[in-house]
């Protein structure tokens, strides 16, 4: 079971992704409406992946990722961003982001995220 936390002040912007993720029986989804709330949840709960919108109301997704590293560096994070892949890489370097998502991510993006998490889990278990 993968525990995922979606962070957005506007649930509609991640609703397509949330619907696609909910189709996977091994996914437990929860929501936070702000970066601060998500950081609180991340400090108290085991989470496999946090997915942030580009803007969270109280901070950007990249600012959140930077703060998440100090709360729990083991939590994977993906963020919606309109930046070019090169600019996103430069802006997010060192933040431990596993993926850049397009504006209004959907079913294909959900599949890629779940596959990536599955691969990470397999690799972690293989090395133990």
Q: 83-122 pLDDT, tens per residue?
A: 999 999 999 998 889 999 999 999 999 999 999 999 988 8
Mean pLDDT of the chain: 93
Helix (H, G, I), strand (E, B) or coil at 75: coil
Report pTM.
0.92
Report the b/e string of 88-114 with b at 16+ CB within 10 A: beebbeebebebbbeeebeeebbeebb
Note the pLDDT of residue 96.
Answer: 83
Structure tokens at 72: 């729990």
- What's the CA gap between 70 and 118, in Å, rounded? 24
Structure tokens at 121: 């889990």
How confident is the model over 12-28, as pLDDT tens digits? 999 999 999 999 999 99
- What's the CA gap between 127 and 8, in Å, rounded? 34
């Amino acid at each position: 079971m993968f525990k995922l936390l979606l962070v957005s002040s506007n649930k509609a912007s991640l609703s397509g992704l949330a619907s696609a993720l909910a189709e996977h029986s091994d996914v437990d989804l929860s929501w936070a409406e702000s970066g601060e709330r998500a950081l609180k949840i991340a400090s108290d709960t085991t989470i496999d992946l946090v997915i942030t919108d580009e803007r969270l109301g109280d901070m950007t997704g990249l600012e959140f990722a930077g703060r998440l590293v100090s709360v729990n560096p083991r939590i994977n994070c993906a963020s919606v961003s309109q930046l070019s892949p090169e600019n996103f890489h430069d802006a997010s370097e060192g933040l431990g982001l596993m993926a850049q998502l397009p504006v209004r991510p959907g079913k294909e993006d959900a599949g890629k995220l779940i596959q990536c998490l599955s691969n990470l889990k397999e690799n972690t278990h293989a090395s133990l």
